Amino acid sequence: MSAVVTPTPSLPERRKEVAPDSAEVAALREAILRRLTYSVGKTPASASEHDWYLAVVYATRDRIVEPWMASTSAAYVHGPKRVYYLSLEFLIGRLLFDALTNLGLTDAMRTATRGLGVDLDRLRTLEPDAALGNGGLGRLAACFMESMATLAIAAHGYGIRYDHGLFRQSLKDGWQQEYPEDWLALGNPWEFKRPEVSYEIGFGGAVEEQTSSDGVVRHVWKPGEYVNAIAYDTPITGWRGQHVNTLRLWSARASEPLLLDAFNAGDYVGAQSGKVRAEAISSVLYPSDETPAGQELRLRQEYFFVSSSLQDLVRRHIKQYQDLRSLSEHVAIQLNDTHPAISVAELMRLLFDVHGLSWEEAWRITRATVSYTNHTLLPEALESWAVPLLERLLPRHMQIIYLINALHLDGLRKAGHTDPAFVSSVSVIDEHAGRRVRMGHLAFIGSHKVNGVSALHTGLLKQTVFRDFDALYPDRIVNETNGITFRRWLFEANPGLTRLLADVAGDAIYDDPAALTRLEAYAGDPALHDALAEIKRQNKVALARIILDRCRVKVDPDALFDVQIKRVHEYKRQLLNILETIALYDAMRAHPHAEWVPTVKIFAGKAAASYHNAKLIIKLANDVGRVVNSDPTLRGLLKVVYLPNYNVSLAESIIPAADLSEQISTAGMEASGTGNMKLALNGALTIGTLDGANVEIREKVGDDNIFIFGLTAEQVEERRRHGIDMQQTIAASAILPEILDAIGSGAFSPDDPSRYLGLVDILRHHDHFMVCADFDAYCARQRDVAHRWKNRAAWWKSSALNTARMGWFSSDRAIRGYAEDIWQVPTTAA
């Protein structure tokens, strides 16, 4: 009996775009002109582009303020449990189109500005990127803030208002150059300064014992230095503008900005030394911590924003409820990674020292209120601080940490855990390499829930860095796989695809990401393939213009755009991609008459300023690009480009244009990833390892619609146990020896033939990240990609299924998980 074949339904007819409401357009136009006059102080005739930009932002912000005030008032009237999201990074990017999209005003505003002779899309490019983050961690925080507003969770984000965010990257002869990022140079029209919201943050000094009349001994911290934290608020609007939350960022100010006596004595620089020292705290995101001064500044930053945030939320709670004993009933504090871990000691200080609760009561409240998200298994990212530094900078906190640890270890001994190695492994104080405070351990002990950010990562947390803690507290570690906000990464970044999806799957996609699954029924339809291909090509043409403008390289929009965009780190393995690029280059030259797929290799990402090997990898990518792009024998079949200064806005141009998404980190080292989700949502096919959320993406999209290769996390650990010398592995490869020889001999660096000898030596003898071990498998999968690309129907069917099956990766789903599993707060439907 033959199988029943379900016919593919006919593709729905594309709907015509509906013109925006004329009354809305007129109201917006009037609002823009009013703001131009009364807030910017210009007439239309004298206004510059930036003046118009400010007027449009103010007119948009006016639409947000009323629901913002209503959301704030409702939190006081109805008393929902508040969520406080503490993050050292918020990579919010540009906000204008984010706000217009969520308010449903994009088309109306575009029409309104056009009527004033102004191009809204041009104004969009004038807004600086608020680069207050390094990568996925900060972008996740921004997505989560938007989703909490969308789900009507009463939430505050807390962070630092850096004067200069992540450095601005330029490429000089292929070398990364770092320059200060100046997003505040022309002011920030989105924020509201709150000079009345200010807290004193202490550093240094000494701790004194004071005995009360009833014989109770209290420890009183007498700081030797104070810095003021000043609040700046940015409203974060949810979908359809129905709920608005607050992102509160702290700026550091000196308590005594000018020593007048010194100034009058002619010491103009010394008179302002206190101001410079204080304001350095909020000056730069991630100052280098290679020096003792840099390490101290990093700790000062972390304590500064934690203390001001906790003082602020405690003040708000007392104002509303009067009694701190109910804090955990009305407040959830989420630590986004280990940077805010000092929160555990600071909250104990506030409850115990400042507000007079008993130690036992303060500890119960702290653990019930705080929860901790771990984002990495990398040892260098699980912060630890030298005990002498903490004792000097935060002496009372060091005492509190000692006591927390002592009581924790006493409890273990009473429970029968006497093995010294076990007790040492779960101690907050690491005694092995100079006495250091393990901040991840402190965060774990002081939290009621600890979560990983993908199923694989959470499992590895339990097996590796928190293995012994998981044995002690088997219910504490939970998984909350990361997500992305579709409002920015689909509706805003890819309006053409969004309109197609709405026409095919219905308008429900705007409110329910699960509705994208309706696209599956049409995945095999050639008419859908044509529509998807045309939208993708338009996006690729737009990206090709950016590449030509910034890299002076002309690329073919009909070529396969193979994209790797992420922070540059050896574990993310941009180097593996470069090696395969060289292999492809050699093969194209050796077999010029083969049917090669025209390919554009697109790299973008920043390396930490002090990370020598990562910066060398950037240089190698540019050197390879210089050789490949200038070789006439290729006839343009292969191009390699490195787009400088990767940020949110550049990502919004690259992601909709990508055909292939490179997610090739060493298995077991990427906690989750969110770029993988953004690219797949926009129809790119993933080539990747079984790492982070790639595991769950494969489960959702299906094995046939993703290109998985390489060692698993378990196999990586097994290989490492047997050594990381790769000479035998390299010798067994048909093409890898020749590639490494070419790089090492200066084929791509004739100006400095020895430039990459150290990099090649690492690959041959110290390949911790398994680049050589996975090379042949990666090359084979790249050939599978090329084969699929040649089969147009198969490629676009896979692309459609990737988009259709990505609904689960919405940050709304992730936030619902936090709300139910960790915070115990209700949510509304998106």
Q: Which residues are designated catalytic?
A: 375, 566-567, 572, 674, 678
How far, in Å, CA of 454 to CA of 244, rounded? 28
How far, in Å, CA of 716 to CA of 724, rounded? 10
**Main-chain dihedrals φ then ψ at residue 410, nearest 5 degrees:** -60, -40
Strand order across the beta sheet in which 707-708 lies? 638-643, 599-604, 560-565, 660-663, 685-688, 707-708
The string of DSSP codes covering 47-83 is: --HHHHHHHHHHHHHHHHHHHHHHHHHHHHHH-PPEE
DSSP assignment, residue 21?
P
Q: Tally the residues of the chain.
A: 830
Strand order across the beta sheet in which 449-452 lies? 192-203, 225-237, 244-254, 155-160, 82-86, 331-336, 370-373, 449-452, 477-479
| Cα 805 → chain centroid | 23
| SS3 assignment, position 332 | strand
The string of DSSP codes covering 686-708 is: EEE-S-TTHHHHHHHH-GGGSEE
Residue with tokens 């690492």: 762
Q: CB of 110 within 8 A of CB of 120?
A: yes
How far, in Å, CA of 769 to CA of 759, rounded? 13
The three-state (H, E, C) secondary structure of 152-163, written as one string? CCCEEEEEECCC
Residue 326 burial (CB count, 10 A): 13
| b/e per residue 556-586 (b: at least 16 CB within 10 A) | ebebbbbbbbbbbbbbbbbbbbbbbbbbbbe
Q: CB of 798 within 8 A of CB of 596?
A: no
Q: CB of 235 within 8 A of CB of 148?
A: no
C-alpha separations of 526 from 8, 537, 560, 665 in Å: 10, 16, 19, 34
**Main-chain dihedrals φ then ψ at residue 83, nearest 5 degrees:** -110, 130
Taking the alpha carbons of 19, 24, 30, 34 in that order, is the dihedral positive or negative?
A: negative
> Using CA atoms in the order 726, 728, 732, 736, what is the torsion angle rounded to 10 degrees?
30
DSSP H helices, 474-525, are: 486, 495-505
